Chains A and B, each alone.
Chain A
Amino acid sequence: MTPARRRTIEFLLDNLVWLMLITVLVIFSLTIPRYFQFGIFANILEQSTYVGVMAIGLAMVIISGNLDLSVESTAALSAMVTGLLFASSGIGLGIDLGPAIVMIPVSMLIAVAVGTLIGFINGFFTVKIGMSAFIVTLASFIWVRGLVVAISGGRSAQSLAPEIRMIGIERLFGIPLLAWISVLCFVIFAFIMAKTPFGRYITLVGGNEAATFRAGIPSGRILWMSFVLAGALAGLAGWLLAIRTSGATANLGVGMLFNAFAAVVIGGVSLKGGIGKLPGVYAGVLLIYSIHTAINLMRLPAHWTQVILGLLVLAAVLLDTLKLRLRERLL
C-alpha cells in the first residue's frame, strides 16, 4: 500500500464521525420533507449547545482516564442557582443588578463557580483520596441532584431577568447566540487539547499515568484539573439551560448525561482513556441532534429516539473496535 493511500485511510478513520454526520444529513435531507432548511440546521446547532458544552468537560475527564457521571446534576444545580437568584417568579428571588453588561457576566460566573466547586470536590476524592471516579461521581450525581430538589423544594423558578435572557434570543448571522457559545467553547478547548502542554498532558496521563509521573509531569494535578474543568463546563451548560428555559425546574436536564456520554463515545473518545479529539465530540453531538430532529419531523413517537441512540452508541463502540483492528492490519 502506498503511504499516500494509507494516509488517506488513516484520515478517514480518524474523522469517521464527521463522515457519518454528513451522510446522515444528506440522507435525511433527501428523504424527509422539510428537513433541508436553514432553520432546521440552526435548530440542530442550538439544541446541541447544552449537551455539547457538557460533553467537552466529560470528554476531557474520559481522555485523562477517569469518568464523570455528575455533569448532568452539576448543570442542573448551576441552572437552579441561576434561576433562584435571577428569576422573578416561582421560587426566584429576582435579584436585579442593573444592566445586561453586569447581569450576564455575574450570573455566568456564579453558575460556573458552582460547577467548579462540584468538580473540585470530585477531583479531591478521586485524585487526593484515591477513590474510584465511578463511585465518587455517581455519588455526586445523586447528592447534587438531591441538593437541586432540596434548595428548590421541588418547585421551579420562572421568568429569568430579561437582561440575561437576551443571550437566548439574539442571533448572529441567523444562528442563535447560544449555538455560537458552544462552538466557541469547542474551538477554545480543542485548541487547548491540541496545542498546549496542559492538553498534551491530559492525553499522556490517560495513556500511562506512571510514565507521566516519572517524566516529572504533575499527573495528579492534571487529573484534578480535568475534573474541575468538567465541573466548570457543566456549570456553564447549566447557565445556558437556565437561559433557554427562562428559569429552572427541579428535574431540569434529566437524561442529558446519557446524551453527553453517547456523543463522547460516538465522537471517537475511548472509554479506556488517552484517545479522542474534541472536534469529533462536537460532530457526535450534532449527529445525535440531527437524528432527534429527524425523528421529530417524521412524527415518530419520541421514545424511539432512545432506542436509536442506544443502538448508535453500540454501533460507535463496535466501529471503534473495528477501526483498531483495521489499523493494526494497515500498520
Chain B
Amino acid sequence: MTEPLLKLTGITKHFGAIEALRGIDLEVRAGEVVALLGDNGAGKSTLVKIIAGGLKPSSGSVWFDGAERHFASPSEAKKAGIETVYQDLSLCVNADVVANFFMGREITRKVLGIPILQEKEMERITGQAIAEAGTRIPSLRTNVEHLSGGQRQAIELNRFVHFGGKLVLLDEPFAALGVEQTARGMEMIRQVADRGVGVIVITHIMAQAFQVADRIAVIRHGKVAGDVETAKTSPEQAVEMITGGTLTIAGMDRAGTGRDPAQQGEEANR
C-alpha cells in the first residue's frame, strides 16, 4: 500500500483544563475522501484547524507528504498544499468576487520590481471556474456582500476545486446550500478526489457522508471511535459510534446497507 498523504499520530490538544483532543490517529491517502463524523463538541473542528495550521497541537505529530510537518500558520499549510474551506464563511464581503476568489494568491506581474495585480486575467479565470461549476453570479465585480449565501459558498467551493493542492479540508461545507447546490458540491468533491487529491469532509449529515466518502472516521470525546470503509459499515453503526455504543464490528461486512434510504430522515430532521 502506498504511503498515506496525511498521517496523524497521537494528536492531543487542550485549552486550559479542557481536553479537546485526546490522542488522534488518522491517515488519509491521496485520492481518498474521508468523512469525519462526530457529535457537536467532539473535536472535529479543532482537528481540522490543527491540520490547516490554524492551531498548534499540544502533542503528537503531523506527517504530510512523507515528512513530519508542524505548520505554524495557515499560510505554511497552504504552501505545502493543504486547502481549507471553513464552516463559517471565509470571505471578505467588502471586496468583489474576483478579489475573494484569488485571496492570498493574486496573479501579479512585476514592473520595475513592483508586483502589479493582473485584474483582467484574474477576472477571466474566476469567470471560467465559476461558469464551469454551473454557478450563476451576475457580475464578478459585485462586492460579495450583495450575493446570496449559496453564491458565497459557491465561491469558496470553486476556490478549492480550482486551486486544488494535495489535501482539501472541508468543514461543514454545505451548511448554507440548497438541495441542488449540495448535490453539485458533492460532485465537486468526487471530481477533486479523482484528480488524486486527498479530501477530509466534516459533516453531521449522515446521508452526505455515506454518499461521498470512501471511509468514515468517527471522533468521539477527542478520540477516534471508529475508522471504517464506507462500504463496510452502515448509518446505524456510524450513529452508534458517534453516540458511544460499544462497537467492535468495524470490519464486519454489511455492504448492502451502506446506501440505506433511512439516512434521508436524518436530513429532514435538521
Residues of chain A whose beta carbon lies under 8 Å from any beta carbon of chain B: 195-197, 200, 203-204, 206-208, 210-218, 274-275, 331
Contacts and interface: CB of A to CB of B under 8 A. Distances in A.
22 contacts: A195-B116, A196-B108, A196-B114, A203-B92, A203-B99, A204-B92, A207-B94, A208-B90, A211-B90, A211-B92, A212-B103, A212-B104, A213-B54, A213-B74, A214-B86, A216-B73, A216-B74, A216-B75, A217-B103, A218-B73, A218-B75, A331-B142
A217 B75 CA distance: 7
B106 A197 contact: yes
A204 B74 contact: no
A331 B146 contact: yes
A207 B117 CA distance: 19
Interface-central residue, B92, B99, B106, B117, by most chain A CB under 10 Å = B92
A195 B117 contact: yes
B79 interface: yes
B115 interface: yes
B84 to A, nearest CB: 7
Contact of A211 (B75, B103, B105): B103
B227 to A, nearest CB: 27
B69 interface: no
What 3 A-B pairs come out closest when comparing CB atoms? A216-B75, A215-B104, A207-B94
Contacts of A206: 94
B125 interface: no
A207 B90 CA distance: 11
B78 A216 contact: yes
Interface in B32-79: 52, 54, 73-75, 78-79
A216 B106 CA distance: 12
Nearest to B107: A197
B94 A215 contact: no
Contacts of A275: 94
B74 A215 contact: yes
Contacts of B92: 203-204, 207-208, 211-212, 274
A331 B84 CA distance: 31
A218 B92 CA distance: 15
Given A216-B74, A216-B78, A203 B106 contact: no
Interface of A is mostly: helix
Interface-central residue, B84, B89, B117, by most chain A CB under 10 Å = B117
Nearest to A217: B104
B177 interface: no
B117 A196 contact: yes
Nearest to A205: B92
B93 interface: yes
Interface string B98-138: 01000111101000001111000000000000000000000
Contacts of A203: 92, 94-95, 99
A197 B115 contact: yes
A143 B235 CA distance: 66
Contacts of A204: 92, 94-95, 99, 103
A214 B117 contact: no
Contacts of A211: 89-92, 103
Contacts of B95: 200, 203-204, 207, 274
Interface-central residue, A207, A214, A216, A217, by most chain B CB under 10 Å = A214
A200 B96 CA distance: 11
Contacts of A200: 95, 99, 106, 117
A196 B116 contact: yes
Contacts of A212: 92, 103-104
A195 B79 CA distance: 24
A213 B76 CA distance: 11
A200 B108 CA distance: 12
A215 B79 CA distance: 11
B51 to A, nearest CB: 13
Contacts of B52: 214
A158 B75 CA distance: 52
Contacts of A213: 54, 73-74
Interface-central residue, A200, A203, A206, by most chain B CB under 10 Å = A200
A207 B99 CA distance: 12
A203 B95 CA distance: 8
Interface-central residue, A196, A211, A275, by most chain B CB under 10 Å = A211
A207 B103 contact: no
Given A196-B115, A207-B92, A208-B91, 11 more contacts: A195-B116, A196-B108, A200-B117, A203-B99, A204-B99, A204-B103, A211-B103, A212-B92, A214-B54, A215-B78, A274-B95
A274 to B, nearest CB: 4
A6 to B, nearest CB: 10
Contacts of B79: 216
A263 to B, nearest CB: 21
A212 B54 CA distance: 12
Contacts of A274: 92, 94-95
